[in-house]
């Protein structure tokens, strides 16, 4: 039971990380119609900038604004210089250009910082473990990540549903042409949305730093799962990104944790391990296929 609870927390934590990345990606895709493969690069830039600031100043918390600003600024520049030229183009051109951006950013990081991963440290406040229930010590930093993710989700919900900007965002993801026809400065909206997406990616990257490795290519490792979240949740829907992110995080973790053990009860060891690991690594893709079969536009597709 304790093991199950612990794995549930692990799944939740993985889920909110996926959500932070997917939220930006789904807005950019839904509202601007752009497939942004370089989203992972913004995650990496947030991680590098924030970690560097945290190391130089000795304070983890100063890293947070630096990570956010660096990622958002990079996002704004990328939008103005590259993405803006792609709105009218087809998806293949967008994929090509943003893939080029991945190579560009990875190589820039290698030139600036080298190939060796950066040293990162937990903030003093969250370096220990908390006994969530008796007998289950859980790293407090992971609880902190969960809390931040849920807060961001709440904040986004309020912005999207309660503000004028949010109204435009919702309108934009439902019918772009109509918003433009009504005289809204869609270009400014695009820039804002892209900046916001970049900011969230930067936050996710910085938060991931002390748990994972801050290194070149770290964004691409999580990008594929993020796209799965976007597709399952429905393109353009923050709510979808949240629900899909959390469920994928939990399902993926549970499959990895328990499937090999369950299979071992009905077949012998090595075969069960091989099959279990195989199925659990396919798990989220199988789920995506199933969801698309029932709801081809995703769970909460905007405009459906």
Partner 1 sequence: MKKLLTAASLLALTTLPSLAEPLKIGVITTLSGPAGYLGEQVRDGLQLAIDQEGGKLGGVDVELVVEDDGLKPGNGLQIADKFLNEEGIKLITGIIFSNVAGATVPEVVENDAIYISPNAAPSSLAGAGCNKNYFVVSWQNDSLHEATGAAAKALGYKKVVALAPNYQAGKDAIAGFKREFGGDVTEIYTQLEQTDFAPEMAQIRAAAPDAVFQFHPGGMGIAFLKQYVQAGLSKDVPMIVSEPSADGVILGAVGEAAVGLKATTHWNADFDNDANKAMVTAWAAKHPDKPLTTYGQQAYDVGLLIASALKKTGGIDDLDAFRAALKEADFASTRGDFKFGQNQHPVQDWYMVDIVAGSDGKPVWVTKEKLRDDVGDVYAAECKM
Binding site for partner 1 (CB under 8 A): 3, 6-7, 10, 13-14, 106, 110, 114-122, 129, 137, 139, 141-142, 210-218, 220-222, 253, 256-257, 260, 269, 273-274, 277, 281
Query: Nearer Cβ to partner 1, position 5 or 159?
Result: 5
Residue 119 main-chain phi, psi, to 5 deg: -80, 130
140 vs 132: CA distance, rounded Å: 9
- Give the Cβ contact number of residue 110 at 10 Å: 13
Q: Minimum CB separation from partner 1 for residue 109, in Å?
A: 10
State the helix-helix crossing angle for 39-57 and 218-233, rounded to 10 degrees.
130
Place of tokens 């895709």: 29
Q: Minimum CB separation from partner 1 for residue 139, in Å?
A: 4
Q: Minimum CB separation from partner 1 for residue 195, in Å?
A: 26
Sign of the dihedral through C-alpha 210, 144, 29, 234: positive
Q: Minimum CB separation from partner 1 for residue 187, in Å?
A: 35
Query: Nearer Cβ to partner 1, position 107 or 163?
Result: 107
Q: Minimum CB separation from partner 1 for residue 138, in Å?
A: 8
Tokens standing for 118? 């950066």
Query: Nearer Cβ to partner 1, position 40 or 233?
Result: 40
Q: Minimum CB separation from partner 1 for residue 260, in Å?
A: 8
Taking CA atoms, 31 is separated from 52, 63, 111, 187, 299, in Å, by 33, 30, 34, 11, 17
Query: Nearer Cβ to partner 1, position 19 or 190?
Result: 19
Residue 157 main-chain phi, psi, to 5 deg: -60, -45
**What is the DSSP-derived secondary structure letter of residue 212?**
S
Query: Nearer Cβ to partner 1, position 51 or 74?
Result: 51
Query: Nearer Cβ to partner 1, position 237 or 247?
Result: 247
In angstroms, how far is CA 195 from the centroid of its own chain?
A: 15
The region, left, alpha or beta by phi > 0 then psi within -120 to 50, assigned to residue 53 is: alpha
- Give the Cβ contact number of residue 9 at 10 Å: 18
Q: Minimum CB separation from partner 1 for residue 152, in Å?
A: 19
Query: Nearer Cβ to partner 1, position 157 or 273?
Result: 273
The CA-based angle 190-221-275, given to 5 degrees, is: 130
């Amino acid at each position: 039971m304790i093991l199950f609870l612990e794995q549930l927390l692990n799944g939740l934590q993985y889920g909110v990380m996926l959500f932070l990345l997917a939220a930006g990606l789904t807005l950019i895709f839904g509202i601007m119609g752009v497939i942004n493969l370089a989203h992972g690069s913004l995650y990496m830039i947030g991680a590098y900038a924030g970690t560097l600031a945290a190391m130089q100043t000795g304070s983890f918390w100063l890293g947070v604004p630096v990570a956010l600003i660096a990622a958002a600024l990079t996002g704004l520049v990328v939008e103005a210089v590259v993405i803006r030229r792609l709105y009218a183009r087809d998806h293949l051109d967008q994929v090509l250009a943003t893939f080029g951006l991945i190579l560009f950013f990875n190589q820039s990081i290698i030139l600036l910082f080298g190939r060796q991963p950066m040293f990162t440290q937990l903030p003093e406040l969250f370096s220990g473990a908390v006994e969530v229930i008796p007998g289950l010590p859980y790293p407090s930093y992971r609880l902190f990540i969960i809390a931040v993710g849920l807060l961001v989700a709440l904040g986004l919900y309020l912005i999207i549903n309660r503000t004028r900007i949010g109204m435009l965002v919702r309108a934009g993801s439902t019918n772009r042409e109509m918003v433009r026809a009504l005289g809204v400065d869609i270009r400014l909206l695009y820039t804002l949305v892209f900046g916001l997406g970049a900011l969230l990616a930067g936050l996710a990257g910085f938060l991931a730093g002390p748990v994972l490795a801050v290194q070149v290519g770290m964004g691409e490792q999580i990008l594929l799962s993020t796209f799965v979240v976007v597709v399952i949740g429905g393109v353009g829907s923050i709510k979808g990104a949240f629900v899909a992110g959390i469920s994928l995080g939990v399902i993926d973790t549970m499959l990895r944790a328990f499937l090999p053990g369950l299979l071992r009860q009905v077949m012998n060891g090595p075969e069960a391990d091989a099959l279990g690991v195989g199925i659990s690594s396919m798990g989220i893709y199988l789920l995506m296929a199933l969801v698309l079969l029932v709801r081809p536009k995703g769970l909460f597709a905007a405009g459906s």
